[in-house]
Amino acid sequence: MASEPRQYHPLTCHGHSRPVPHIAFSAFEKENEKEIEKKTDSFFLISACKGAKIWDTYSGELLYTLQHDHIVRAIAYPPDNSDLIATGGFEKKLRIFDLSELSSTGSPATIPASAGFEIGEGVHTGSIKFICWTQDPNIVVTASDKTIRWLDLPSRACIRHEVLDGDIKSCEMVSLDPQYASPTDIGGGLPVLAVAAGKTAYFWGGRNAMDELKRFPLSYTIASVALDLKGRKLVVGEEPGTWAKVIRYDDGKELDVHKGHHGPIWSIAFSPDGKMYATGSEDGTIKLWKNCEGFYGLWRGGGEKVAE
């Protein structure tokens, strides 16, 4: 990982006609084509309007529509890849659907909201903006207004909550691919919960993401945050503002300022190997920033060169 500030030309991804509210990298795929063809339990989920839709990623067929009484804003899968799905949104309810209990007739099935069981009934007083499943498959984290909540599936109860510095603008589980993770990383090789709220960046670790690792009070409001677990840096997006700032995790020193966006940066994500990160902005573009030395992807290595 690059430990010193170094400017590289970012790669800009155009094509969106609207703001980019969220970005994420897919995990590394180690399976070969034949193994992928054998898989029948892969799903791709899209949430929109008053429902969540589940698609078979191999055939492209719509399998289920999970009905809701209001707009769905957040979804999450458990880390053990079980058949559970968590949904939340304007209903102010965290619902868990068990796909193994839903019958599929070979044609798209519409599942009523009542088929999902609510966790923490009545505890959410505002729209659920984010859902994060911890490494403990029994613990789910939600972000609503200024409050982070930890909810326990077996008891269906909220077991902890924290009111933060301001409205929560981003809330993500940050992790490296297992082949790159190490006990010396921030979080000890486990995913870290990263939250941007008001003028503070928060980080929690452990299997249930309840151990507060650090919080960074800043002099400006932030709209997003991501964490370089191995390189020990965080990247935050200003709001209002259009810059991404790189800050050293251990002492809070500002290392770099990335310019180029023409609107607030709503989402930041590191690649599974930690060697690159992406910023998504109100301006409808995604920018990719190199986070390592030498050749990587379209970057040639050295200076600010980018492959033609």
One-character DSSP codes across 155-179? TTEEEEEEE-SS-EEEEEEE---TT
pLDDT tens digits, one per residue of 179-213:
999 999 999 999 999 999 999 999 999 999 999 99
The predicted pLDDT at position 284 comes to 84
Domain boundary among 126, 145, 163: 163
- pLDDT (tens digit, 9 = 90+) per residue, 116-165? 999 999 999 999 999 999 999 999 999 999 999 999 999 999 999 999 99
Query: Are the C-beta atoms of residues 232 and 219 closer than 8 Å to each other?
Result: no
Strand (E) or helix (H) holding 35? helix 33-38
pLDDT tens profile 212-260: 999 999 999 999 999 999 999 999 999 888 889 999 999 999 999 988 8
What's the Cα-to-Cα distance from 116 to each of 76, 199, 246, 296, rounded to whole Å? 14, 36, 41, 44
Question: Average pLDDT of 38-50?
Answer: 50
Within a domain: 22: no
The number of distinct structural domains making up the chain is 2
156 and 175, same domain (yes or no): no
CA angle 175, 181, 186 (to 5 degrees): 65
Which residues on neighbouring strands pair with residue 95, listed in sequence order?
Answer: 87, 118
Query: What's the maximum distance between 2 C-alpha atoms anywhere in the chain?
Result: 57
135 residue type, one letter: Q
Residue 268 pairs with which residues in a beta bridge? 279
- The mean per-residue pLDDT over the stretch 55-77 comes to 82
Q: Does 228 lie in the same domain as 172?
A: yes
**Of 111-115, 199-203, 252-256, 299-303, which one has max mean pLDDT?**
199-203
3-class DSSP assignment, residue 70: coil
Are the beta carbons of 1 and 274 closer than 8 angstroms? yes
Which domain CATH number covers 276? Answer: 2.130.10.10
Q: What is the pTM of this model?
A: 0.85
Give CA 152 to chain center in angstroms: 20
Give the position of tokens 């084509």. 33
Inter-CA distances, 265 with 118, 217, 229, Å:
33, 19, 20
Please check the confidence at residue 71 and state whether its pLDDT lies above 60: yes
In terms of residue numbers, what domain contains 72? 41-163
Residues facing 228 on adjacent strands: 233
